[in-house]
Amino acid sequence: MKDNATPALTAEEHARRTATQFDSRLHAALAPMSSGLSPISLALAGMDWALHLASQPAQAARLATAVQQSALHWWADTLHNRPEDDADPRFAHPGWKHWPWAPVVHAYHEAEAWWDDATRLRGMEPHHQEMARFYARQWLDMLSPSNTGLWGNPEVRERTRETLGSNLLNGWINALDGWRQQHGLAPVRPTEHEYRPGRDVAVTPGRVVHRNHLSELLQFSPTTPTVQREPVFIVPSWIMKYYILDLSPHNSFVKWLTDQGHTVFILSWRNPDENDALLDMADYLHEGVFDNLAAIKALVPDCEAVHACGYCLGGTLLSIAAAALSRPGQIEQAHLLPALKTVSLLAAETDFTEPGEMGVLIDESQVALLEDMMAERGFLSGPQMGGAFQYLHSRELVWSQALRELWLGESDQPNDLMAWNSDTTRMPAVMHSEYLRRCYLRNELAEGRFPVEGRAVSLADIRVPMFVVGTEKDHVSPWKSVYKIHRLADTEITFVLTSGGHNAGIVSEPGHPHRHYAMLTRPDDGPWLTCSDWQDQALPQDGSWWTAWHQWLIGHGSGTVPGRLPLEDATLGPAPGHYVHQHYLD
Contacts of 486 (CB under 8 A, 6+ apart): 493, 495, 522, 528, 529
Long-range contacts formed by 415-420: CB under 8 A, 24+ apart: 415/195, 416/195, 416/200, 416/201, 416/247, 416/248, 416/251, 417/244, 417/247, 417/503, 417/504, 417/507, 419/194, 419/195, 419/200, 419/201, 420/195, 420/201, 420/240, 420/241, 420/243, 420/244, 420/247
- Provide the H-helix boundaries in 327-469: 364-377, 382-392, 394, 400-402, 416-422, 429-435
- What DSSP element (H or E) covers 208? strand 206-211
Contact 225, 234 (CB under 8 A): no
Long-range contacts formed by 39-47: CB under 8 A, 24+ apart: 40/365, 41/131, 41/363, 41/365, 41/366, 42/131, 42/135, 44/128, 44/365, 45/127, 45/128, 45/131, 45/132, 45/135, 46/132
Helix axes 364-377, 39-54, angle to 10 degrees: 170
531 is catalytic: no
Q: Of these residues, 303, 309, 312, 439, which one is catalytic?
A: 312
Contact 22, 102 (CB under 8 A): no
For residue 94, whether the previous peptide bond is cis, meaning omega lies within 30 degrees of 0, is: no
Query: Is 489 buried (19+), middle (13-18) or exposed (0-12) by CB count in 10 A?
Result: buried
CB atoms < 10 A from the CB of 118, how many?
Answer: 19
User: Coil, strand, or helix at residue 391?
Assistant: helix
Which residues carry out catalysis?
312
